[in-house]
Amino acid sequence: MPSPCTALIFQLSGCLVDFGARTLPVALQRLHPSCANPAVAGTVLQALDTWLGQAATTAQQQALQQALSEVASEHAELTPGAAQLLQTLHAQGTPCAWLDDLPADASLRLAEALPVPVEAVLARPTRPWPAPDSCWQALSQIGVERLEGCIVVSGNPLLLQAGLNAGCWTIGLAACGPLCGHAPADWQALGTSDQERLRAEATLQLYRLGVHSVVDHLGEIEASLEDIGLRRSKGEKP
């Protein structure tokens, strides 16, 4: 049977670190607490415009950049299962990279929590997610020569769609990504029924997108990797 994967691309926030992908919404809340709190989606600047209900000024954009760096330092904590997975992949020599839609400085502060070196993809393609450019750039940067067996892992529908558009296998994260959007303590404080409801809604949304497998967090990813390996052994393509 083929190896489950030839390379893995992870989103940084809401996947490897920052359970709930809280860096951007917390920064927006701190800067503009009086604004309504719409769902945070799209690029950072699109999220800012949506939050404000109008186009942000240059000063507001710069203030957000600074706030993101500060908040990122506070949220640089590994998600469940991330340390063990990264250490295993590193020991196996499996090529890995992380990318994110946060500014480079904020991303690098989040990445300080990673237990082993993981290739950072910081250059911004012209087209944001769900265009496939950043996935292809990541694979090129880590020296992958073919798409076969490449997997994109994220809880962000836009990046997962980019992975699908790039021709990669995809694994969605329901509980620790932005769809549930809770910090670890807040998630644990929820009742079981509330957790199940949010988890089910996020899982359904990701499967409707066309994601190949969905788990709560990286601590549960082994079964998904094995399933992809089995599907590849049967000749299935993403």
**Residue 170: its pLDDT value, please?**
98
Please state, rounded to an integer, the average pLDDT across all residues of the chain: 94
Tell me the average pLDDT across 143-169. 96
- Window from 32-41, 103-112, 133-142 with minimum mean pLDDT: 32-41
Q: What is the pLDDT of residues 220-233, one digit of tens each?
A: 999 999 999 999 99
Count the neighbouring beta carbons within 10 Å of the beta carbon of residue 180.
24
Question: Which candidate, 37, 97, 101, 39, places its Cα nearest to that of 68?
Answer: 101
Residue 93, sorted as left (phi over 0), alpha (psi -120 to 50) or beta, turns out to be left
Tens of pLDDT, residue by residue over 179-220, are: 999 999 999 999 999 999 999 999 999 999 999 999 999 999
Percentages helix, strand, coil for the chain (3-state, rounded to 5) are 45, 10, 40
pLDDT tier for residue 3 given thresholds of 50, 70 and 90: low
pLDDT digits (tens, 9 = 90+) for 14-72: 999 999 999 999 999 999 998 877 677 788 999 999 999 999 999 999 999 999 999 99
Alpha-carbon distance of 57 to 71, in angstroms, equals 21
Element (H, E) at 64: helix 58-74
Domain ranges for the chain = 7-21+77-233, 23-74
Which residues, in sequence order, are bridge partners of residue 173?
A: 215
CATH topology of domain 7-21+77-233: Rossmann fold (3.40.50)
Q: Which residue has the tokens 């709190």?
A: 37
Closest CA to 97 of 161, 144, 156, 41: 144
What pLDDT, on a 0 to 100 scale, did the predictor assign at position 38?
67
